[in-house]
Structure 1
Amino acid sequence: MHNLKLMTWNCRSLKANLSQFKVKLYTEKPHVACLCETWMKPGHEPTFINYRVNWAHRTNKAGGGLACLIRRDVAILENKFTIHRGGLLEVQLISIKTNKGKLNIINTYNPGKNITKNEFNHYFDQLTEFSILVGDFNAHNSYWDVSSTNNTTGNNLLEALQENISVTLLTPQSFPTYMNPRNGKYSTLDLCFVPSKWYPISNTNISGDCGSDHAVIMIEIRVKPDCMTFKTRQRWKFETGSWTNWKSKLKEHKTPSNNIQENYTVFCKNILESAEQTFRKTKDTCNIKYCKPWWTKECDEAVKTKSRIKNYFRKHPTIQNLIELRKAEALVKRTTRACKKQSWERYASEINSFTPAGQVWSKVKSLRNNFVRENNPLIINNNIITDPVSKTEEIAKHFQQTMSSPKKDNTHLLLTLAYALCDEDTEYNQSFTKYELIGILEDLKNSSSGNDLIHNKFLKNLPDSYIEFLLHIINQCYNKSVCPTEWKEALIIPIPKPGKPLSSPESYRPISLLPCTAKVMEKLVCRRMEYMLERGNKLSYCQGGFRKKLSTLDLICNIENDIRKVLIDKKICILVCFDLKSAYDRVCQMGLLYKLAECGIKGKMLAWIKEYITERTFTVYYEGEYSSKKTTTSGLPQGSSLSPMLFNVMMRDIPTHSGVKYTAYADDISIFAEGDNQKDVLNIIQTNINEITRWADKWGMEFNVNKTKAMIFSRKKNIKKCNIKLKCMDIEIVNQHRYLGMILDAPYLTWKQHIKQLKTKVLSKMNILSSVSHQHWGADRVMLLRLYKSLVRSVMDYGCIFYDSSSKTNLKSLDPVQNRCLRIAIGARKTTPVLSLEVEADILPLDIHRKMVIMRYHARVSELPHWVPAKMNLFYENKVLTKKKWSIINVPPLSVRVQYAYQEIETSPSKDLASDLISPFPPWLDLTKFVEDDFMSSTVKETSEMEVNQIFKSNMENKYQQYLEIYTDGSKHTTENTTSAGMIIGKLDVMEKWLLSPYITVLGAELFAIDRALRWVLENADKIITNKGIVILTDSLSAIQLIQDRLPKTYRYRIFGIQNSILHIMTKMKICIQWIPSHKNIIGNEIVDKIAKDAQNNKFSTLSRIAKEEKVREIRIMTRNMWQRVWRNSVLYHNKGKFLTNIKECVAYWPWASNKIRVIETVMSRLRLGHAGVKQHLLRFNISNDDKCECREVETITHFLLECPIYSIIRRNMKTDL
């Protein structure tokens, strides 16, 4: 531990001398820095690396101000301090912990006033035996400055010092802390007072200057501040080695034994031993980087020159030398300012469309990063705890209390569980297959490892023998219903909750890290359990959390739709939003197992889940220390892949009274009821709340009454105050409440408050765009527009399908946000018309964009099952509502607004494409056995037609002898904009061809053909039963790969239909879809290719439903067509933005509009937009006296570039160069 280092300095404007001070601060690295005369204003304070700052601004007038910078590794303590009533000193106090105890540091500034002895005594009396008083006292006295003339403040300070014998002046006599800029004379104004017994162990010295007329003073006291060493978990540096080397160093494992723990230990040991020999690890300590990239040699030279001139001026204080000193000081400021600007410009210019995406987002993240490490003591029962081990243990105790609940009498559940644990005759209880394990390993993300340091990258790169070894361990665990000890241990990292006091353990959120191997096992179990729950419809249709393809928007859609109908029908609706206290941590484990058994989860799966979630332990890692192991008696494992689905099972049977609807997204639960009479609705809601309370008590759940809110929606004027109770306590009835990220406002649901807060939220993100762009330097327009879409518009997009129903005034308040971002991105002037701005940037106006998002959401919902409430609202309950008349007061629900949006772009709404949430194929069935893409081992492009045909004939004879061959193909004619598909069965002389919608893609046509082929097989199964099997041959590898996927990201409706057909056919005969290469003269493929192309000549299209992805493409095209019409009409109507129409006839993306050189990019944009610095434009805004060029013609952009004779030589030279 080092001695306490304290810096004190009168900065005389911190902003003016910030660069030099940062260099000094980052070089000296004092534990505490006390500044006075900062001259800062609230909201404009700078930040410092590894320092937290306590500001004390002068609020009544300019000047003054104090700041204390405390290094983040130093422990800060609470303090009590009283200010002298009517005092003139500016005073600030901080307290830190040292090996001697609590140390108070008082920072002081006298703004040139006569300070009384009483005021000095007031502060001296508060100095404990461990206190330091520093600052600029503006006190002159010969006691500490022989050459000075005493003033009133100096005399009073000396008298107060003499009366307080326990305080000593540490500042040496005639210590040169201040230089008079008029005569170069030094005086002692900055003083330091310490306890008398500390005088022998303290010293002070001058540490140069940082641009102010006061010197920087360094004080060193031989006490040890309580400093924390920032530690972190070690991570593997995978870039330091190769996976080939790692695999080669893996030991050959022996034949697995029957001991699961022994097998798992060998598995992990071999992986880690090989990793230690191949990859390096990061250090376990965090080194703070005091970055000064902008400080260059030029800055050093300027400072040295200034110091040399300053010393010369001190010896020879003449006017000429003073002038030279002022010049040197100005040069330092100019140099540092210029270097800082150039450094930032280089940094910002690296963020462009040619920079790798990872580097770009790393830079953007660094601009937004607010996470800092600090030494924050805990306060437990008024006891201050600063020791990292003790703090870690206290946080662990708090988490243990949260994850433990009183034991309940569950004897009535034991009989059902005992029976369920014995049932094993089910497919989902079979051993896991290698196909399942490989599918899980391929989908693993690079998430943090658990305590065992086995990272997912190790598992993804396992050789085949180790995959078999891992599968053996997993099946041992599953069949015997046991787990290795390490799987039941969690490592918890406490993360501070925003806005909470860091001195309380309750202010930390547990982030749990589990062994990656355990999470692989969880995913295997979860995938099977999800299949059983979803295919068996065991979950409530109102649950939207942690379910494939469902989102928070679907639940908000239900609430918004019901509220709108209530307002339309002039009824009343009461909405109650519940808050579950520590929802995951209070789950009753026995109750959960009972509910799983009710859902049909029995046998090995139930037994393994029981073993996995019970009797778990955890260790807390905080500030580099580990707590002792703690046990849990309730709850689900945090960070587990299995926990979300288990929590859904726990919440599946929330009771609902007749007339009450509910939505649940994880632990965000809401109920709502409507009616004509407030009293009746209130009774229904209260009855349901009572039922939910009893349900919660039964299963060990607890609601937080203070965070549970109620809202009343109605257009009725006679709404009375009412009491809604939860556990005999009143639920607060509010007019605004945030639910699933949207702020609902009662009683009319105007979304006004949501839009207001949304605008505030995106302002900080807009600043990122401003900071990395300029007219002459910075990121290019492609990257800036990408940042706008990612950081700003994405935030505005969430929930815009709902708040689009707000008033035009509210919605218009968001337009300036986009307008400003576009001006930043393309470098346009503020005078540029918005119409031209949007077209130049190729960004839709926000009102049109919101309509497109609404239609895209409608297309997404079209693929959801019929039972999803959002699907019912948008597709089945809008026929009556469309006949009503709408107004600003009578706002239509989303189901009606969708129809109007489609009408505006002149296209039909998306058709119902209802499909299941998950694949119909059971996880334990290997899809690759039915859909194959392994035609040949070598590359097709490098193989001749003759060889390909030989391989094809060989495959058909060996694998598909006596199979019925069906060839399918899809075709797209780009010039004619037509899509078609075909199918042939040569043996049966069957040939079919279809002309499809022009919006269907080639991939969509290929999938359509395969789907029709499978349907033909199902319809004609009796006729072809004599064949050994069916093989469908297609040349679309993309289609094959999609069909093999259980979680297809696109064409889900078509893929699930194909997979379902395969399931039905395989019960009657063998079926396989085989990929074959295209354009290799395979006869059947060539014939079907001609048939598919010939189908483009069909007179009528086949009525086929367009997939969601194709509908979204159609919506995008039609929306842009509408934007084209709106833009042209608006230009004619408003007479603005005409100049751009001469250059750009239609809205379209121009890739050549971007340029690597930012200044060229912005200049070209301004020229196209017609708002450049020519006099005709400047005259319109009274910036120029006339519109004449030097040649006395009107100076327009055209004249300036093409016609003006003054620049004829320059134009001629430019043409020659081109």
Structure 2
Amino acid sequence: MNDLQIIFWNSRSLSNKLFEFKKYIYTRKPHIVCIQESWLNDEYLPSFINYRGYFKNRVGRAGGILILARNDLITEDINLQIFRNGKLEIQGIKIKIYTDYLNIINLYNPNQIVSQAEFKFYLEQVGNKGLILGDFNAHHQLWNRKIHHACISGQNLVNALAYIPLQLLTTESMPTYIDNRTGNSSTLDLCFVTPNIFSKAAIELGEDCGSDHCPIHVQIEIQTTIMKMKTRRKWKFDKDLWNQYQDSLIPIPEEDLNINDMNNFVTESLFNAAESTFGRTKDEITFKYNNSWWTPDCERATRERKRLKAILRRSPTPENAAMMRAAENEAKEIIKQVKKDKWKNYINEINSTSPVGQVWKKINKINSNFKPQNSPLSVGNNLITNNLEKVTIFSEYFENVFQIQDTMSYQLKTQIDIELQTAYLQVQDEYNCNYSLTEIQNTLSNLKNTAPGIDEIHNSMIKQLPDTYIEYLLKLFNNVWNHGLVPNSWKIALLIPIYKFGKPERLPESYRPISLLPCIGKLFERMVGSRLYW
């Protein structure tokens, strides 16, 4: 059983600490991350590898909250009721756990006096199974015995809890916040859970990430529903093994075969030869959490800041506070300079000779055009996560959208077929004759390495065929040309749903299909197309 891992943190400007925090979560890979005081706006929303973001930005300066959910989880936004004229910033998601859901509510109090009614209003929305966490900005002896008097918000929160069966998970006097001016600590970041998960939950302080608040780690012994992230397997071609590939091909049959059998022979021979020669990638998606931008200078500077902040916690003196602030400023300047250098190097990789695909890939990264990897589909009130069920939904949707009603009468069809056959028999122009070896060789020389169809035959495998196989392919193509019959497998396309950026990702209509036909059939199609330009 994989325990549910949650991190929540008041970042006090995420952009300024993005480099360091990305390294922090990419190393730990928590399921859920809740952030308060993100200070983000809609013009720039950072992207995170293998995480989807639920952003709720405040209009104006400061504030803002967000939730990051790992892509292999089934999560859904909770449409929380909003307290009229309230002070709190709040959002929530629910996460699928086995046969049930767990509600997670992310809260931030922007240092305002919050009424008992508002606290109670949101605590009630945690539901039967869930937790509410964040920066409450509330002082009370219940979670911090060091203070002598509770603030108004703290007392209102405790009064509201008297009506709601929630339990405090935050341990007594946990120093979640440290004042960088004095070194004094407070317990401002709290986590409340429903009784049915309290005994399964644990909480601890995380490492300093540059804010005046510490990240808080919550671990819950609960079985989450993990979606399997699958992808299409790819051939791992090696230029030094092409001779071995050619030697593994089955000899050309001497007997005459029909068009379907000829095509099946070529397809099976190429596939088996490639499988015995080259490896293939796994069908499971593994994400590369890139931390290459984190330099030794960044590591040294942040380590020194953490060391001095730990000293400040133990001994809050003006001298220690000054030393910690100096180390903090130095770390900020070093990370800022590294970001500038990395950005400059990234941009300089694009020049007038860069391939168009590489340029667009970099532009999409700059624009943070994140494309979901594995979203469940919403049908009615049900979330579909099973891959086979999603295939059925997509196929039915695409079939309905692209279905063309045939309004042509049977008599007209018959007449057209007769006229075409008559015209073909009467015309003996050069473009109707058999294809030559030169034509197939010229087409192969211009063939690009596009994605293969459902038969997994890649254009590289065709271009590396020996002469005997090229001649056999030519024989197949001429049989197709002369008899007007196409192999059945050429008519079967592999449909890949491509997400339309900005659309609701759980609706089938938010995807457009790309059809991948067998490369052998596409090769013949190119040869036919070339003749049209004679």
Q: Structure 1-normalised TM-score?
A: 0.41
> What does 1:213-232 correspond to in 2, within 5 Å?
213-232=212-231
Separation of aligned partners in 2, 1:517 and 1:127: 57
> What does 1:1102-1141 correspond to in 2, within 5 Å?
none
> What does 1:437-452 correspond to in 2, within 5 Å?
437-452=440-455
> What does 1:1037-1048 correspond to in 2, within 5 Å?
none
Deviation at 1:388, TM superposition (A): 2.6
CA gap of 1:345–1:524, structure 2 versus 1, over 3 A, is: closer
Residue number in structure 2 paired with 1:12: 12
Residue number in structure 2 paired with 1:461: 464
> What does 1:59-70 correspond to in 2, within 5 Å?
59=59, 62-70=61-69
Residue number in structure 2 paired with 1:173: 172
CA gap of 1:477–1:256, structure 2 versus 1, over 3 A, is: farther
CA deviations 1:953-1007 (Å, max 9, x no partner) are xxxxxxxxxxxxxxxxxxxxxxxxxxxxxxxxxxxxxxxxxxxxxxxxxxxxxxx
Residue number in structure 1 paired with 2:251: 252
Separation of aligned partners in 1, 2:214 and 2:298: 19
- Work out whether 1:368 is the aligned partner of 2:364: yes
Question: Is contact 1:240–1:279 with CA below 8 Å preserved after alignment?
Answer: no
Residue 195 of structure 2 aligns with an amino acid whose one-letter code is S
CA gap of 1:188–1:225, structure 2 versus 1, over 3 A, is: same
Question: Is contact 2:235–2:280 with CA below 8 Å preserved after alignment?
Answer: yes
CA deviations 1:1141-1178 (Å, max 9, x no partner) are xxxxxxxxxxxxxxxxxxxxxxxxxxxxxxxxxxxxxx
CA gap of 1:442–1:308, structure 2 versus 1, over 3 A, is: closer
Q: Which moved more, 1:496-505 or 1:84-93?
A: 496-505
Equivalent in 512, 516, 520 of residue 519 of structure 2: 516
Separation of aligned partners in 2, 1:508 and 1:344: 32
Question: Is contact 2:97–2:222 with CA below 8 Å preserved after alignment?
Answer: yes
Residue number in structure 2 paired with 1:132: 131
> What does 1:409-488 correspond to in 2, within 5 Å?
410-417=409-416, 419-420=418-419, 422-423=421-422, 425=425, 426-427=427-428, 430-488=433-491
Residue 283 of structure 1 aligns with an amino acid whose one-letter code is K
> What does 1:693-732 correspond to in 2, within 5 Å?
none
Residue number in structure 2 paired with 1:990: none
- Work out whether 1:84 is the aligned partner of 2:87: no
Bigger proportion of residues as helix:
1
- Work out whether 1:36 is the aligned partner of 2:36: yes
Residue number in structure 2 paired with 1:664: none
Residue 439 of structure 2 aligns with an amino acid whose one-letter code is E
Residue 510 of structure 1 aligns with an amino acid whose one-letter code is P
Which ranges of structure 2 fall in alignment gaps of 5 or more residues?
none
Question: Is contact 1:227–1:375 with CA below 8 Å preserved after alignment?
Answer: no
Separation of aligned partners in 1, 2:511 and 2:22: 32
Residue number in structure 2 paired with 1:321: 320
- Work out whether 1:56 is the aligned partner of 2:90: no
Separation of aligned partners in 1, 2:481 and 2:351: 51
Deviation at 1:444, TM superposition (A): 2.0
How many positions carry a matched residue from both structures? 526
Query: Counterpart of 1:105 in 2: which secondary structure?
Result: strand
CA deviations 1:549-572 (Å, max 9, x no partner) are xxxxxxxxxxxxxxxxxxxxxxxx
Question: Is contact 1:76–1:376 with CA below 8 Å preserved after alignment?
Answer: no
Residue 494 of structure 2 aligns with an amino acid whose one-letter code is L
Query: Counterpart of 1:446 in 2: which secondary structure?
Result: coil
**Paired-residue identity, %:** 37
Separation of aligned partners in 1, 2:359 and 2:3: 36
Question: Is contact 1:378–1:505 with CA below 8 Å preserved after alignment?
Answer: yes
> What does 1:1059-1098 correspond to in 2, within 5 Å?
none
CA deviations 1:1089-1134 (Å, max 9, x no partner) are xxxxxxxxxxxxxxxxxxxxxxxxxxxxxxxxxxxxxxxxxxxxxx
Separation of aligned partners in 1, 2:195 and 2:330: 44
> What does 1:1156-1195 correspond to in 2, within 5 Å?
none
Question: Is contact 1:6–1:32 with CA below 8 Å preserved after alignment?
Answer: yes
Which ranges of structure 1 fall in alignment gaps of 5 or more residues?
531-917, 920-1218
Separation of aligned partners in 2, 1:333 and 1:108: 27
CA gap of 1:429–1:145, structure 2 versus 1, over 3 A, is: same
Q: Structure 2-normalised TM-score?
A: 0.91
Query: Counterpart of 2:456 in 1: which secondary structure?
Result: coil
CA gap of 1:238–1:51, structure 2 versus 1, over 3 A, is: same
Separation of aligned partners in 1, 2:388 and 2:257: 40
Separation of aligned partners in 2, 1:414 and 1:299: 73
Separation of aligned partners in 2, 1:26 and 1:153: 35
Residue 304 of structure 1 aligns with an amino acid whose one-letter code is R
Residue number in structure 1 paired with 2:307: 308
Deviation at 1:429, TM superposition (A): 5.2
CA deviations 1:655-681 (Å, max 9, x no partner) are xxxxxxxxxxxxxxxxxxxxxxxxxxx
Query: Counterpart of 2:199 in 1: which secondary structure?
Result: helix
Residue number in structure 2 paired with 1:46: 46
> What does 1:544-559 correspond to in 2, within 5 Å?
none
Residue number in structure 2 paired with 1:493: 496
Separation of aligned partners in 1, 2:330 and 2:190: 30
Deviation at 1:68, TM superposition (A): 1.7
CA gap of 1:393–1:204, structure 2 versus 1, over 3 A, is: same
Residue number in structure 2 paired with 1:153: 153
Separation of aligned partners in 1, 2:217 and 2:354: 45
Question: Is contact 1:75–1:375 with CA below 8 Å preserved after alignment?
Answer: no
Separation of aligned partners in 1, 2:77 and 2:46: 24
Residue number in structure 2 paired with 1:25: 25
CA gap of 1:499–1:212, structure 2 versus 1, over 3 A, is: closer
Separation of aligned partners in 1, 2:278 and 2:43: 46
Separation of aligned partners in 1, 2:314 and 2:510: 59
CA deviations 1:833-878 (Å, max 9, x no partner) are xxxxxxxxxxxxxxxxxxxxxxxxxxxxxxxxxxxxxxxxxxxxxx
Question: Is contact 2:78–2:91 with CA below 8 Å preserved after alignment?
Answer: no
Separation of aligned partners in 2, 1:373 and 1:156: 41
Separation of aligned partners in 1, 2:465 and 2:28: 49
Question: Is contact 1:241–1:279 with CA below 8 Å preserved after alignment?
Answer: no
Separation of aligned partners in 1, 2:293 and 2:176: 28
Deviation at 1:443, TM superposition (A): 2.9
Question: Is contact 1:205–1:217 with CA below 8 Å preserved after alignment?
Answer: yes
Separation of aligned partners in 2, 1:485 and 1:340: 55
Residue number in structure 2 paired with 1:338: 337
Separation of aligned partners in 1, 2:282 and 2:432: 44
Question: Is contact 2:178–2:184 with CA below 8 Å preserved after alignment?
Answer: yes
Deviation at 1:291, TM superposition (A): 1.8
Question: Is contact 1:241–1:278 with CA below 8 Å preserved after alignment?
Answer: no
- Work out whether 1:93 is the aligned partner of 2:92: yes
Question: Is contact 2:372–2:499 with CA below 8 Å preserved after alignment?
Answer: no
Deviation at 1:368, TM superposition (A): 2.9
CA deviations 1:579-629 (Å, max 9, x no partner) are xxxxxxxxxxxxxxxxxxxxxxxxxxxxxxxxxxxxxxxxxxxxxxxxxxx
CA deviations 1:672-726 (Å, max 9, x no partner) are xxxxxxxxxxxxxxxxxxxxxxxxxxxxxxxxxxxxxxxxxxxxxxxxxxxxxxx
Residue 52 of structure 1 aligns with an amino acid whose one-letter code is R
Question: Is contact 2:229–2:285 with CA below 8 Å preserved after alignment?
Answer: yes
CA gap of 1:351–1:416, structure 2 versus 1, over 3 A, is: closer
Q: Which structure is richer in relative contact order (CA contacts within 8 A, separation 6 or more)?
A: 2
Deviation at 1:497, TM superposition (A): 2.8
Separation of aligned partners in 1, 2:344 and 2:146: 49
Deviation at 1:363, TM superposition (A): 5.8
CA gap of 1:63–1:172, structure 2 versus 1, over 3 A, is: same
Separation of aligned partners in 1, 2:402 and 2:345: 50
Query: Counterpart of 1:39 in 2: which secondary structure?
Result: coil
Deviation at 1:142, TM superposition (A): 1.6
CA deviations 1:473-504 (Å, max 9, x no partner) are 22333344433332121100011234432222
Deviation at 1:462, TM superposition (A): 2.1
Query: Counterpart of 1:25 in 2: which secondary structure?
Result: helix
Query: Counterpart of 2:162 in 1: which secondary structure?
Result: helix
Deviation at 1:319, TM superposition (A): 1.5
Query: Counterpart of 1:444 in 2: which secondary structure?
Result: coil
